[in-house]
Structure 1
Amino acid sequence: MNKYAIIDTGGKQLRVEPGRFYDIHRFALTDPNILRPNTKISMYRVLLICEGSKIDLGHPWLSNAIVRGRVLHPCFDKKRIMQKIHSKKKTRKKLGYRQDFIRFVVDSISSNRNESIG
């Protein structure tokens, strides 16, 4: 039986399944020391829950639907490099950064229709 949910996190939509891990952008409003490994997190912005052929669709989100998980560890994205080149002045500027991510694993998906899907 295929169970999954679509959540909204960091302005992006992400399809999640119980027992799998995902990389999401670090939360802007939280202190980085709060999100240590094995910290429990809950996501309330659930757009869709699918269990087999049953689909619950929210407008915009499902009420009383929660995706619960825990933080595995913080990680980084690949290094992104930006270059500014002014050809006539013969100047070059090279900048780079790495985006902060949090790797988390989904433990359960629950909704108001049935208590525990995952």
Structure 2
Amino acid sequence: MSTYAIIETGGEQLRVEPGRFYDVRHFASLKPNFLGPNTKISIYRVLMIRHESITNIGHPWLVNAMVKGRILHYRLENKITIYKMRSKKKTRRKLGHRQNSARFVVDSICLDGEEFYE
């Protein structure tokens, strides 16, 4: 791929390309009541865009840059198990949880009004 962007969302940085889908935790409100499937989204925290041989780097983010996409569906991540044990004290504790995540697809990357597609 000759076009990609690095965005910041959900407390992590992702390298995204048009036409591909990604799983993101802590995305917006992650409640299907507010954002349902096929909801259009725009991400303005774009750290870097590379198109062909031109690289644009922000400090910390690029101005007039955004990544457009849409939400495919919400899902739960795999279960994480936390097991705590104190040796010689006969205390054991087993906890677990599943995190919410959203799967979204990137439709285009925009910079200064120009859109880059697949």
Give the structure-1-normalised TM-score. Answer: 0.92
Q: Distance in 2 between matches of 1:101 and 1:22?
A: 10
Q: Distance in 1 between matches of 2:82 and 2:52?
A: 45
Q: What SS does the corresponding residue of 2:61 show, helix, strand or coil?
A: coil
May I ask how many residue pairs the two structures share in their alignment? 116
After TM superposition, the runs of 4+ consecutive aligned structure 1 residues lying more than 2 A away are none
The superposition leaves residues 52-93 of structure 1 with CA deviations (integer Å, 9 ceiling, x where unpaired) of: 111111110000101000000001221110011122221211
Q: Which residue of 2 aligns with 1:71?
A: 71
Q: Distance in 2 between matches of 1:31 and 1:7?
A: 18
Taking structure 1 as reference, are residues 10 and 31 closer, same or farther at Cα in structure 2, changes over 3 Å only? closer
**Runs of 5+ unmatched residues, structure 2:** none
The CA RMSD measured in Å over matched residues stands at 1.4
Q: What SS does the corresponding residue of 1:85 show, helix, strand or coil?
A: strand
2:90 pairs with 1:87: no
Between Structure 1 and Structure 2, the one with more strand by share is: 2
Contact persistence 2:30–2:102 (CA under 8 A):
no
Q: What SS does the corresponding residue of 1:37 show, helix, strand or coil?
A: coil
**Runs of 5+ unmatched residues, structure 1:** none
Q: Distance in 2 between matches of 1:109 and 1:115?
A: 8
Give the structure-2-normalised TM-score. Answer: 0.92
